[in-house]
A and B are shown apart, each in its own frame.
Chain A
Amino acid sequence: MLTFIVRRLLITLPMMLVISFLVYLGLELTPGDAVSHMIDPEVANEVTPEQLAQLRAAYGLDKSFIERYGIWLVNIVQGNFGHSLSGGVSISAIVLDRLPATLELSVFALLFSTLIGCVLGTISALRRGSATDSTLTVVGMLGVSIPEFFFGLVAILIFALHLNWLPVGGRLMPGDESFIDHLPNIILPGIVLSLMMTAGVMRYSRSAMLDSLSREFIRTARSKGLPEWRINLVHGFRVALTPVVVLIGFRLPTLIGGSVIIEEVFQWPGVGSEFIEAVRGSDYPLVMSIALMSVFAVLMASLIVDVLTALIDPRVRLG
Chain B
Amino acid sequence: MAKTSLDKKFDRIRDLEEAGKLKSSSGSRALRKLLSNRLAVVGIAIFLVILLSSIFAPLITSHDPQKIDLRSMLQSPSWEHIFGTDRTGRDVFARILYGGRVSILVGLGSALVSASFGVAIGCYSGYRGGWIDTIALRVSEIFMSFPQIILVLLLVSIVGQSLFNLIVIFVISGWGAMYRLARARMLSLREEEYVQALQSFGVSTFKICYKHILPNALGPIMVNVTLTTAMFILAEAGLSFLGLGVPLSIPTWGNILNVAQDLRVLQNNWWMWLPVGAVISLFVLSVNFIGDGLRDSTDPTLQG
Chain A residues at the B interface, C-beta cutoff of 8 Å: 15, 18-19, 22, 26, 29-30, 138, 141-142, 144-150, 153-154, 156-157, 161, 168, 252-254, 256-257, 260-261, 264-265, 275-276, 278-280, 282, 284, 287-288, 290-291, 294-295, 298-299, 302
Contacts and interface: CB of A to CB of B under 8 A. Distances in A.
Given A19-B142, A22-B142, A144-B288, A287 B157 contact: yes
Nearest to A296: B145
The interface centre, meaning the residue of B142, B238, B244, B273 with most chain A CB atoms within 10 A of its CB, is: B238
Interface in B139-153: 141-142, 145-151, 153
User: Main SS of the interface on chain A?
Assistant: helix
Contacts of B148: 253, 257
Contacts of A15: 138, 141-142, 145
Nearest to B244: A279
User: Main SS of the interface on chain B?
Assistant: helix
A261 B241 contact: yes
22 contacts: A15-B138, A18-B142, A26-B158, A29-B158, A138-B39, A142-B281, A144-B230, A145-B284, A145-B285, A146-B284, A147-B238, A147-B241, A147-B284, A149-B237, A256-B149, A257-B147, A260-B149, A261-B238, A275-B150, A279-B156, A279-B157, A294-B146
Contact of A156 (B153, B158, B241, B266): B266
A150 B157 contact: no
Contacts of A30: 157-158
A215 B51 CA distance: 45
A161 B263 contact: yes
B285 A279 contact: no
Interface in B146-202: 146-151, 153-154, 156-158
Given A147-B234, A294-B150, A161 B266 contact: yes
7 cross-chain pairs, A with B, having the tightest CB-CB distances, nearest first: A145-B285, A150-B277, A253-B147, A257-B149, A145-B284, A256-B147, A146-B281
A157 B266 contact: yes
B256 to A, nearest CB: 11
B267 interface: yes
A291 B145 contact: no
B257 interface: yes
Interface in B242-277: 242-244, 257, 260-261, 263, 266-267, 270, 273-274, 277
B203 to A, nearest CB: 34
Contact of B277 (A22, A154, A261): A154
B86 interface: no
Interface of B: 39, 138, 141-142, 145-151, 153-154, 156-158, 230, 234, 237-238, 241-244, 257, 260-261, 263, 266-267, 270, 273-274, 277, 280-281, 284-285, 288-289, 292
Contacts, number: 124
Contacts of B261: 265
Contacts of A265: 261
A287 to B, nearest CB: 5
Contacts of B285: 141-142, 145-146
Contacts of A29: 158
Contact of A260 (B141, B142, B153): B153
A287 B281 contact: no
A261 B258 CA distance: 13
Nearest to B233: A147
Contacts of A18: 138, 142
Contacts of A278: 157
A19 B154 contact: no
A285 to B, nearest CB: 11
Nearest to B280: A147
The interface centre, meaning the residue of B149, B261, B266 with most chain A CB atoms within 10 A of its CB, is: B149
A161 B267 contact: yes
Contacts of B257: 149-150, 153
Contacts of A145: 230, 281, 284-285, 288
A295 B238 contact: no
Contacts of A294: 146-147, 150
Nearest to B148: A257
The interface centre, meaning the residue of A30, A252, A279, A280 with most chain B CB atoms within 10 A of its CB, is: A279
Nearest to A27: B158
B272 to A, nearest CB: 11
The interface centre, meaning the residue of B270, B277, B280, B292 with most chain A CB atoms within 10 A of its CB, is: B277
A260 B150 contact: yes
B253 to A, nearest CB: 9
Contacts of B289: 141
A19 B266 contact: no
A288 B154 contact: yes
A112 to B, nearest CB: 20
Nearest to A253: B147
Contacts of A264: 242
Nearest to A298: B145
A253 B270 CA distance: 32
Contact of A282 (B145, B151, B157): B157
Contacts of B263: 156, 161, 168
A298 B146 CA distance: 8
A146 B287 CA distance: 12
A303 to B, nearest CB: 11
A149 B245 CA distance: 15
Contacts of A284: 157-158
Contacts of A141: 285, 288-289, 292
